């Protein structure tokens, strides 16, 4: 296991949240409900426009983590943890064995999302593995991804860019244009 399960979940969910911006898929409270269900978020919810706005506003802050150098990432992560008054505690609930929560379940959803993402990045920073945060290598896509592969080989996001790029290269070879 490269990283703890909660680190993997936190980073994968953070990338998915960032990528809802380019997908235009977090436009309503119903969209947010679906996202929260899909990614298994527990804890308090408001189901309000304000909650939606706070989560949407978190996306560029998280995206900046993918686009910054190590020093900047540390500043961003520390800022997210401070702003949400993060206080790490080991907890166990449902099917989940011991893992870290750094916010109370009653804290606002956007704060909990921010802190979970930050804690995931904390693990990458400590392990010297920040280069696992990547931008999709496809020319026409700038979605973010987390490369959790053993051989650090992941270059494309989840939205089929790898296939699309391979197919395009194959067609180009067939037609003799490359
Ligand atoms: Zn938990
Ligand atoms: Zn892509």
Average pLDDT for residues 32-49, to the nearest whole number? 95
pLDDT at 175: 84
Question: Given a cut of 80, is residue 149 above it in pLDDT?
Answer: yes
Distances (CA, A) of 56 to 53, 66, 101, 172, 175: 5, 17, 22, 39, 44
Is the model's pLDDT at 91 over the cut of 80?
yes
How many Å lie between the centroid of ligand 1 and the Cα of residue 3? 16
Percent of the chain with pLDDT over 70: 98
For the CA of 94, the nearest ligand: 1
pLDDT band at 94 (very low <50, low <70, confident <90, very high): confident
CA 44 vs CA 40, 51, 108, 112: distances in Å:
13, 11, 7, 10
CA 28 to ligand 2 center in whole angstroms? 24
Q: What is the mean pLDDT of the chain?
A: 93
Per residue in 109-147, pLDDT tens?
Answer: 999 999 999 999 999 999 999 999 999 999 999 999 999
Q: Are strands 144-146 and 133-135 parallel, antiparallel or unpaired?
A: antiparallel
Whether 50 shows a pLDDT value over 80: the answer reads yes
The answer to whether the beta carbons of residues 91 and 101 sit under 8 Å apart is yes
Rounded distance from Cα 175 to ligand 2 centre (Å): 24
2 in helix, strand or coil? coil
Checking if the pLDDT of 1 tops 80, the result is no
Are 63 and 18 in contact by the 8 Å Cβ rule? The answer is yes
pLDDT digits (tens, 9 = 90+) for 54-87: 999 999 999 999 999 999 999 999 999 999 999 9
Looking at the DSSP bridge assignments, the partners of residue 145 are: 134
Helix (H, G, I), strand (E, B) or coil at 134: strand
Instruction: Give, for 92, the enclosing helix (H) or strand (E).
Output: strand 89-93
* CA 162 to ligand 2 centroid distance, Å: 7
Please name every residue paired with 134 in a beta bridge, in sequence order, or none if there are none.
145
Count of beta carbons in the 10 Å neighbourhood of residue 128: 8
Distance 109 CA to ligand 1 centre (A): 13
Ligand nearest to the Cα of 43, by number: 1
């Amino acid at each position: 296991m490269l990283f703890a399960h909660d680190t993997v979940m936190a980073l994968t969910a953070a990338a998915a949240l960032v990528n809802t911006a380019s997908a235009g898929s977090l436009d309503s409270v119903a969209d947010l409900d679906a996202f929260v269900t899909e990614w298994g978020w527990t804890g308090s919810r408001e189901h309000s426009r304000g909650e939606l706005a706070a989560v949407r506003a978190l996306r560029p802050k998280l995206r900046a983590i993918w686009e910054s150098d190590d020093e900047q990432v540390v500043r961003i992560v520390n800022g997210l943890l401070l702003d949400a008054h993060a206080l790490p505690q080991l907890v166990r609930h449902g099917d989940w064995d011991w893992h870290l929560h750094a916010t109370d379940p009653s804290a606002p959803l956007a704060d909990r999302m921010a802190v979970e993402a930050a804690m995931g990045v904390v693990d990458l920073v400590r392990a010297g593995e920040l280069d696992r945060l990547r931008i999709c290598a496809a020319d026409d896509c700038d979605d973010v991804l987390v490369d959790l592969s053993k051989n650090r080989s992941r270059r494309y996001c989840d939205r089929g860019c790898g296939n699309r790029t391979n197919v395009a290269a194959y067609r180009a070879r067939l037609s003799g244009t490359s």
